[in-house]
Amino acid sequence: MKIAIVGAGAMGCLYGAKLSAVPTNEVYLIDVWQEHIDAINKNGLTMEENGEEVSYRAVRGVTDAGEAGVCDLAIVFVKSTLTSAAVKANRAVFGPDTVALTLQNGLGNIDLIRAEIGDGNVIAGTTAHGATMLGPGKMRHAGSGKTVIGELNGKQTERIETIAGTLREADLETDISDNVLGLVWDKLLVNVGINALTGITKLQNGELLKHREIEELLEAAVSEAYGVACAKGITLSYDDPVGHTKAVCVATAANKSSMLQDILNHKQTEIDMINGAIVREGALAGIPTPVNSVLTNLIKFIQK
């Protein structure tokens, strides 16, 4: 399969590297960070995993999507603040039959991609992997988890089966779901509990549970978000969102969350699509979200 990864951050690199290890795949990592792309093309993409370094040489880096050309699958992995701009800038990989898969954090990406390339070719999902960028051409796989993907209409199609098969072949454990919106909210609640708190405290994911005063805030933020999800009629795939979020903290214990990485790297965070989205959706549903409001404002202050 010919695959473009739009956004070669830590997560994009993880998927790009794994997919490129299957000889029948042709994988392009697309990013504007020239030094990173040059390092990938010169030395391969180096992934630190379980204390070992592996270099993936089959993956190609490009800054110009035109060099990759039309692909069968484009996995969108840019920050959700950049979704529209990245799809616009990389139109060259999207042909009439290209399937766009968003595995991004936060609420709103599906609609942003649909607005650019049309309704029929967008599928969505979530990933529970954790990854950290170490420098140009180098990243760490910090925690493993499942990838879950699905068609927006919930149907079991041939293309979703094929794409799930391609991910599984690349050693990425993958399930198919008939409830994509529920999936996005499943992940949203995890990010609501982990990302802002790690960004504010600078703790790694697992350390959030070692400080009771922080753990209480995690519980409160996720419970508020769960209230909003229930009011909107969203069906989550688990009954205990707080317990599930804590399990993700444990599974990705050594990871610096994506929001903490953004804060440390002085980048804009995805706060508006995570805790900020809960505040907005809560206001629409008449559900108070004071903890998410405080977390949103603190992150906005820090990033300012």
Q: Enumerate the active-site residues.
A: 187
Closest distance of CB 225 from ligand PAF, Å: 14
> Cβ closer to ligand PAF: 75 or 128?
128
Minimum Å gap between C-beta 230 and ligand PAF is: 22
Q: Closest distance between ligand PAF and the C-beta of residue 274, in Å? A: 8
| Identity of the residue, 78 or 287, whose beta carbon is nearer to ligand PAF in the bound complex | 78
User: Which strands form 45-49's sheet, in the order they lie side by side?
Assistant: 52-56, 45-49, 138-143, 130-135
Q: What 8-state DSSP symbol labels residue 271?
A: G
Instruction: Report the C-alpha gap between 60 and 17 in whole angstroms.
Output: 10
- Which helix (H) or strand (E) segment is 3 a member of? strand 2-6
- Interface with ligand PAF (CB under 6 A): 105, 128, 130, 190-191, 194-195, 205, 248, 252, 255, 257-258
* CB closer to ligand PAF, 164 vs 194: 194
Minimum distance between the CB of residue 159 and ligand PAF, rounded to whole angstroms? Answer: 25
Q: Are 3 and 72 in contact (CB under 8 A)?
A: yes
Task: Choose between 36 and 246: whose C-beta lies nearer to ligand PAF.
Answer: 246
Strands 45-49 and 52-56: antiparallel
The pair of three-digit structure tokens given for residue 271, joined into one six-digit string:
């706060």
* Distance separating alpha carbons of residues 32 and 39, to the nearest angstrom: 13
